[in-house]
Structure 1
C-alpha cells in the first residue's frame, strides 16, 4: 500500500492548479456538450419536459438528488452548472419554495441565467436564483468581490491586504448564504472537484447553512480504494470527477465529522462507472441530517426499536435493543420519531401517560439505565383497570 495515497482532505498532492483545471474543463462543457463529464443518470421525465434542450445536453452529473425534496422548501444546489437541477427543483418546491444555485464558473452561470425568465413564464412563478461563489466558501459573494476589484485594482501588497479585509467584511455583512437558512442542500458530482485541502471546510459550510433539522442530499463519485499518485496528478482525471473521488467509507465519515447524523446511502451504482488501475469508481447518493445539538430534557418518553437487527447504535452513541423500551430525552425522541427524518420507519414511540411540559422538564440523565420501566411512562400511581367493551379485540 506504500504506492497509494489516501486522498487526505487536509492536503493537496497535485503538481497543478486543481481549480484552474476544473474551471477550464467546465467552461468548455458550457460551450459544447461533453458526454464524458458525466455518467448515465435517469431523471423524472415530467420535470425534464419543461427544460430547454441546451440545459439538458450541457448539464453534467452522476445522480439525481432532486428526488428527495418537498414542496415549499428552500434548496441550495452546489455547483449548479447549466441549471438543470435548479429548474427541476423549482417545479418540485413550487411557488412557495426557493432554489439557489451556486457556481463559480462564469460560462455556466451565463448559461443557467439565460433561461430564468423563460422558465418563470412556463411555471407561472419565479423562484430560482443563480449566485457566484465557491461551494467551500458559501459566505463569500464573488460577484461583490469582482465589483470591488473593478474599483480597487491590486498592484501592491497593501492592496492585497485591503482585498482580504473586504472579503472578511463581505462574509460578515453580506454573506452569500446565511447561517441556518436552508432546508436542503443538494449537489450532483461536484464535491469531488474541490481541492483536497478544502474538503473539510466544504462539509462544514454545508452544515452551517442548513437549518436545524435540515438535510444534505449529495450525489458524487466514490472509489473503493485510495487513488494512486498517477491518477491524483492527472488534470484530466481531476476535472473528469475521478482524481478527487471520495473513498466510499470516507464520504460518509466526512458528514459525520462535520456534525451530521443519520447518514444513509440512498443509491449506490451497482456496476462501476469507470475502472482505472484496478480501482472502481461509481456514483453514490447519500443523505445526512443536521440538528442533534442542544440539551436533552427528561419527559418520561421511550422508544422501541422494531428490528430486524438485534441492536443498533445511532450517531449519538445510543444503543437501541430490539423490542426494548429505551429511555430517551426529548431532543432524541423528536429526532427518532420525526416522520421526515432518518429513523422513524424503524421506531415505535412511547409517550408518557401524563405530559411533562418542556418548561418544567429536568435535564435528561445520560448516566441512567438505558431501559425505561413501563411505570416511568405510565406513572407510579397509575392503577387503572380497563375492560373490553364487548367489541372485537382486533380489527383488520
Structure 2
C-alpha cells in the first residue's frame, strides 16, 4: 500500500480508493460476474461491441435507455466503455459521448476498440478521459504528465503538486461547467467514499447544462449498512457495503439542487441480502434548472391529477383542478418533462414582458383568479354560433 493509498479512507479505516482500484484493475483483465446485476440491454446496440468489453462490463441498470439523438453525454465511471458505445449509437453523429474513469486498466480496455467501433459506426463521437467522478475538474492525465517532469521527492514537491492540481482545475477542467445534456452512471456512485459524496453530487450538477438531466443506475439498500460491513473491502468494492440507503439516495439529488426527481426502475426482488438488509438496483432521473429569479407574469397552471394534490421540489402545492399561481420560471419548468403531461398551462391574455415583470413570492401557495390571467383584456361576450363544441355532439 502506498502512502497515498493510506490516507484515502472513508473514516472507518477502510481504504476505499485502493480497494476499488485493485478490484476493478483485476476485473478489467478477468471477468467477475459477481460484480454486476443481470441487465437486459437492447441487443441492437451490442452487435458492434467486442465480447471482451461486454464480458468485463459491471453494471446494475441501463441508463442509456433514456438518451436521445444529439445529446452530449457524460458517463461517470465508464469502465470498459460499454454504456459509452451504446450511447454513441443512440445519440448518433450529431451527439457526443465522454467517458470518465480513473482506472488505467479499464481506460486501456475502453480505448483499445475506439478506432474499430468508429469505423463500424461510420463516425467517431466517443472519447475517454482520466479523472475521479467526484472531482470532474481535475484531468489526471494532465497531472500524470506534470509528475513525469516533476517527480515528488519531498514535502515541498508534494505541496507544489497540490498547487499545480488546483491550477489545472481552474484553467484546464476535465469537464467544463454547463456543458453536458445528460450525465449517466451505472453502478459506480456507491464506490465513492462517504466523505466525498456531497462533492460528487455537486459535480454532477455543475457539469450539466440548464435543463439537463442525470440518469443514474446504482445499488441502494433498504436499511442503513452497519459499520462492520462498510469496513469490508470486498463488500465495498463489490457495490454492496457502500450502497446508499434508497431514500437518502434521492435526498442527495435534492440537496445538490436537482428537481423533478423520479424513480425509473426499482426491481421488486433484491439483488443481494446481507444480514437481512436488501440491496437492489435503482435507476433515478433528476433535472437541473430551477435556479433563477421568480417573476410575476400572471401565469397559472392546473394540475390534472390523479392525486388530490402534489408538492414539487420548491414546495409549491398544486391542488387538482385548481388554477394555481406560479412564477414564470416554474411555469417554464412545468412545460417540460417530467411535468408537462400532468399540467395544463394557462397563459395570460396579455403578455407581461420579462423586463417589466415584478418579483413573485414563490414561498406562497395561491389560487390564481381567472381575472388575473385575463388582466388587460377588454371584457367580451361570445356565444357559439350554432356549431357543436365537441367532436361527437353538442355540449
Q: C-alpha deviations, 1:131-160, integer Å up to 9, x for none? A: 000000000000000000001111111101
Report the Cα distance in structure 1 between the residues aligned to 2:361 and 2:199, rounded to whole angstroms. Answer: 34
1:16-165 → structure 2 map (5 Å cutoff) = 16-165=14-163
Q: C-alpha deviations, 1:206-250, integer Å up to 9, x for none? A: 011011111110000000111122211111001100010000100
Of 356, 371, 374, 1:375 maps to 371
1:369, CA displacement in angstroms?
Answer: 5.8
| Residue 350 (structure 1) aligned with residue 346 (structure 2) | yes
Q: Which residue of 1 aligns with 2:202?
A: 204
1:13, CA displacement in angstroms?
Answer: 3.9
1:317-396 → structure 2 map (5 Å cutoff) = 317-338=315-336, 341-366=337-362, 370-379=366-375, 381-395=377-391
Contact 2:78 2:84 in 1 (8 A): yes
Contact 2:84 2:99 in 1 (8 A): yes
SS at structure 2 position matched to 1:337:
coil
| Greater CA drift, 225-234 or 92-101 | 225-234
Q: Which residue of 2 aligns with 1:6?
A: none
SS at structure 1 position matched to 2:334:
helix
Report the Cα distance in structure 1 between the residues aligned to 2:264 and 2:148, rounded to whole angstroms. Answer: 45
Structure 2 unaligned regions, length at least 5: 1-8
1:360, CA displacement in angstroms?
Answer: 2.0
Distance 1:368 1:256, change over 3 A: closer
* Aligned-residue CA RMSD (Å): 1.3
1:355, CA displacement in angstroms?
Answer: 1.5
Structure 1 unaligned regions, length at least 5: 1-10
SS at structure 2 position matched to 1:137:
coil
Report the Cα distance in structure 2 between the residues aligned to 1:183 and 1:227, rounded to whole angstroms. Answer: 33
Contact 2:349 2:377 in 1 (8 A): no
Report the Cα distance in structure 1 between the residues aligned to 2:13 and 2:373, rounded to whole angstroms. Answer: 62
What TM-score comes out, normalization by structure 2 length? 0.95
1:380, CA displacement in angstroms?
Answer: 5.5
Q: C-alpha deviations, 1:190-221, integer Å up to 9, x for none? A: 00000111111100000110111111100000
Aligned residues: 384
1:363, CA displacement in angstroms?
Answer: 1.8
